[in-house]
Amino acid sequence: MTMISNLWDSATRAVRNHLHYRAVCDELGSLTDRELADLGISRGEIAFIARQSIQDLPQAAAPARRSDDRVISFGSSAVRPV
């Protein structure tokens, strides 16, 4: 289950990061050259700034586990009882 959970966390993090990247690029890209210059940004720096802003995102907290949350292993696979 841990492998599936890690895969899910990784996928959701990648989607969240991409959506954040696109939002920053779109927002800064919609500004005029004059507005960007007022911020000290050139149009060529937008992608770099968007990538840097992803590093500032907080990491998602791990979900809480229930006390009866046990995993049963069958060889190399694991299932969670219902």
Whether this model's pTM surpasses 0.75: no
- Which one is predicted more confidently, 17 or 60? 17
Q: CB under 8 Å, gap of 24 or more: what pairs does 6-15 form?
A: 9/60, 12/60, 13/60
Contact 25, 49 (CB under 8 A): no
Which pLDDT score, from 0 to 100, does residue 61 have? 47
Which pLDDT score, from 0 to 100, does residue 60 have? 54
The alpha carbon of residue 43 and the mean position of all alpha carbons in its chain are separated, in whole angstroms, by: 24
Which pLDDT score, from 0 to 100, does residue 18 have? 93
Q: Is 73 helix (H, G, I), strand (E, B) or coil?
A: strand
